[in-house]
Amino acid sequence: MKIFIAIAAGFLIGVNSASAHHSFAASFTEDEIMREGVVERYVFKNPHVLLYIAVTDDSGNSETWMVEGSAATSLRRGGWASDTISVGEYVRISGRAGRNNRPMISMGSVEVLDADTKAVQRTLATGGFNSSDQSGEIVSMPLMLADGRPNLTGAWGRGRGGPSFRNHRPPPFNAAGMALQAAWDPVNDPQVACEDPTLIRQAGFTPHPVRIEQFDDRVVISYEEYGGVREIYLDGRGAGQSGDEHLKLGRSTARYEGQALIIETTHITAGPSGTPGNQLSDQVTTVETYRRLDEPTQGPMVEMEMIIDDPGHLYEPWEMVWKKLYTDNYEFIEVECHAPIH
């Protein structure tokens, strides 16, 4: 059964830690600049929407500039698509300047101009949308599968009225963790160079949609942000053993316990757990608990709680929690990461 309601709530989309895959400060300064040029390439993919534009200086010399926007997932909620901008169009971009005088600018505002007269033909909104992943349609679905397992199958994303990611208390760092965090420079974030994230960042920190598939012997979890995929077996296959190599997404095993799915993971590569840094060691282990929660005005919902233990950098367990709503017929946007231009 489907119930139709009209719900609209405002939220701000921008180049920030909630919608970007690395810190804004990794690539840009606080200085505002403006550049105009001809679009050479338009990339409507995650983790960032990008424009490459040919900018001509007063001497007639042309240089390619990279324009970096929010995630395609975020901009799509505001009406952007793969054909929003065309190669050959003339655009004016206002935003933050690239670090170290790189030919980069953040996508603060975008105007499409007449190349000859410079008259504004259209202005493209890049923030402040009254929209969401949801179309205003609530789908009713059972909390449990026929065999008694919690019904987690589907795509789960941002809810009406705000992001799915909730802020958590700061990591309970020990002395080693505090020292690393104090020295953290976002320019050294591995995600700036398009490296794959570690498990905590992919599964716990992500604000983007997650797809869960349940099978008799395994669970498959896919992530729109970064494009990660985990295949986790219920029979212990894949669990980490002493001496096994550490992996970015670790080595996991799953089980159903009452009305919850429990995933335990070890052998996770050391690395930052989010855009603020918060680096964890290779001693880190996690326990994820997935539950179905329904909310009358919003519909089917999955809650994920991740308990993070790291004797290397934490003095006690650290928690991450998100809630995501069922998103009917949701299509992931492809990932095509581009490192900063030099």
215 and 95 together in one domain: no
Side chain identity at 108, as an amino acid letter?
G
Shared domain check, 141 and 92: no
Q: Does 189 lie in the same domain as 227? A: yes
pLDDT digit string (tens) for 51-104? 999 999 888 999 999 999 999 998 998 899 999 999 999 999 999 999 989 999
- Give residue 165's pLDDT: 55
Cα–Cα distances in Å, from 6 out to 135, 137, 157, 243? 9, 8, 18, 55
Judgement on whether residues 105 and 185 belong to the same structural domain of the protein: no
Do 181 and 65 fall into the same domain? Answer: no
Answer yes or no: is 208 within a domain. yes
- Residue 131 within a domain: no
Same domain? 141 vs 269:
yes
Whether residue 65 lies inside any domain: the answer is: yes
**Residues 191 and 303 grouped into a single domain:** yes
Same domain, 38 and 59: yes
- Among the ranges given (47-51, 164-168, 266-270, 319-323), the one the predictor scored with the smallest mean pLDDT: 164-168
| pTM of full prediction above 0.85 | yes
Give the domain range for residue 85. Answer: 24-124
- Residue 10 is assigned to a structural domain of this protein: no
pLDDT at 311: 98
Q: Which of 8-12, 173-177, 217-221 has the weakest average pLDDT?
A: 8-12
Residues 41 and 111 in one domain: yes
Q: Tell me if 187 is assigned to some domain.
A: yes
* Residue 198 maps to a domain: yes
- Say if 301 falls within a structural domain: yes
For the domain that residue 102 is a member of, what is the CATH number?
2.40.50.140
What are the tokens at 151? 């019904």
Count of domains in the chain? 2
- Predicted confidence band of residue 166 (pLDDT cuts 50, 70, 90): low
Report the percentage of the chain scoring pLDDT > 90: 73
Residues 99 and 186 in one domain: no
What CA–CA distance (Å, rounded) separates 137 from 326?
A: 10
Residues 225 and 147 in one domain: yes
Say if residue 165 is in the same domain as residue 258.
yes
Q: What is the largest CA-CA distance in the chain?
A: 72
Pairing of strands 62-68, 154-157: unpaired
How much is the pLDDT for 86? 97
* Residue 336 included in any domain: no
